[in-house]
Chains A and B, each alone.
Chain A
Amino acid sequence: DGGITQSPKYLFRKEGQNVTLSCEQNLNHDAMYWYRQDPGQGLRLIYYSQIVNDFQKGDIAEGYSVSREKKESFPLTVTSAQKNPTAFYLCASNIPGPYNEQFFGPGTRLTVL
């Protein structure tokens, strides 16, 4: 079955540690996205990538980094510079184009202690 996988579902880290969240898709989509979701707020875009080896900052990129070495994978690193990293992180992908919906993974809940 085609889809997007994110792992792990729950992640706990100590303050000051970097942590990498995994996102893999087998939908053959060129574009991939990372969003952050906090209670009572809509999804906010962290980074996105339209093609392999290229990515752009979204609205809240500070304290995060990404790489796009393979079409299928778009890992997100939450660095110690991110002041409030505890959140629900969602990865999405789609075929680039103006009328193509984004497909979402199941999310990773990151808690920084």
Chain B
Amino acid sequence: GESVGLHLPTLSVQEGDNSIINCAYSNSASDYFIWYKQESGKGPQFIIDIRSNMDKRQGQRVTVLLNKTVKHLSLQIAATQPGDSAVYFCAETPYGNNRLAFGKGNQVVVIP
């Protein structure tokens, strides 16, 4: 598979535990944020998004938290499963248009 996970911060989590992945974003003007999941050898998949007028949004087994004061975004995964092993990227919209800026990613490794 692709070596996108090399040299990335890695979170090792026991199967069934909760995972928290953090992301610091750069631009206080960004008003839309997305979390993507990328499995080895594949393109990124959309997980969840949040607009700047919210501080929390929940999906199926995932929750995104946004703290605009400290420009911090986090993704919580409940009851982590082996299929959650992947690289997770946050993305923001610092340009006020359709362009996204991506973080470097975090590798999550689920231990069975």
Q: Which residues of A are in contact with B by a Cβ distance under 8 Å?
A: 4, 6, 31, 35, 37, 39-45, 48, 50, 58, 88, 90, 92, 94, 96-107, 109
Task: Tell me what chain B mostly uses at the interface: helix, strand, loop, or mixed.
Answer: loop
Which bucket holds chain B's interface residue count?
A: 20 to 34
Once the chains bind, are A94 and B98 in contact (CB under 8 Å)? yes
Docked Cα-Cα span, A44 to B104, in Å, equals 10
Q: Are A104 and B98 in contact (CB under 8 A)?
A: no
Tell me which residues from 55 to 112 in chain B have a Cβ below 8 Å from any Cβ of chain A: 89, 93, 96-105
A43 to chain B: closest residue by CB:
B102
CB<8 Å pairs between A and B, sample of 10: A35-B102, A37-B2, A39-B3, A40-B7, A42-B102, A42-B103, A43-B44, A45-B100, A98-B97, A101-B46
